[in-house]
Amino acid sequence: MDFFIKSFSELTTSELYQILQLRAEVFVVEQDCVYQDVDGKDQKSLHIFGIKNQQIVAYTRIFKPGDYFKNASIGRVVVVASERKYGFGHALMETSISAIKNYFKVDQITISAQVYLKNFYESHGFLQVGNDYLEDGIPHIEMLKN
């Protein structure tokens, strides 16, 4: 899989469509969660996506410190269901962490993680800070990587 990093203005309309389609497929339909995915923050973020067979199958967006959390952050971490067994989520997180270091020159990263993925994020050096909370009806935890 090839990963790409682009600002909002660099995305093609086809890439943006595929990204929004993937996010809706997983976060709205698969997780049965009605929420406003298009939140006005895409324009501030860098978009990291993996392409397999000319389709975007993995995606995150990253923010510089202060644009979402006090620290740099990673959000909207998603891999299409049919591709989850290949380790693309781990490659996506490694790419996102490296991109934050390369683009923003910082090491501290904050994420708002779905609770069931705690072990996945811990495998990338994140630690839970604070208590569980509901975000759009789904249990989340704040996690920090130093």
Please write the tens of the pLDDT for every residue from 60-86. Answer: 999 999 998 999 999 999 999 998 999
What is the end-to-end Cα distance of the chain in Å, rounded? 28
Q: Hey, is 45 helix, strand or coil?
A: coil
| Angstrom distance (rounded) from CA 131 to CA 60 | 24
Q: What is the pTM of this model?
A: 0.92
Strand partners, 129: 142
Res 86: pLDDT: 92
Mean pLDDT, rounded, for 128-143: 89
User: Rounded CA gap, 62 and 65, in Å?
Assistant: 10
In angstroms, the Cα distances linking 89 to 65, 66, 118, 120 are 23, 25, 13, 9
Domain ranges in the chain? Answer: 2-105
Helix (H) or strand (E) holding 120: helix 118-122
Q: 98 and 109 in contact (C-beta within 8 Å)?
A: no
What was the pLDDT predicted at 130?
84
At the second CATH level, the architecture of 2-105 is 3-Layer(aba) Sandwich (3.40)
The average confidence (pLDDT) of the chain is 92
In the sheet where 72-79 sits, what is the strand order?
A: 2-7, 46-52, 55-63, 72-79, 109-114, 138-145, 127-135
Check residue 31 and give its pLDDT: 72
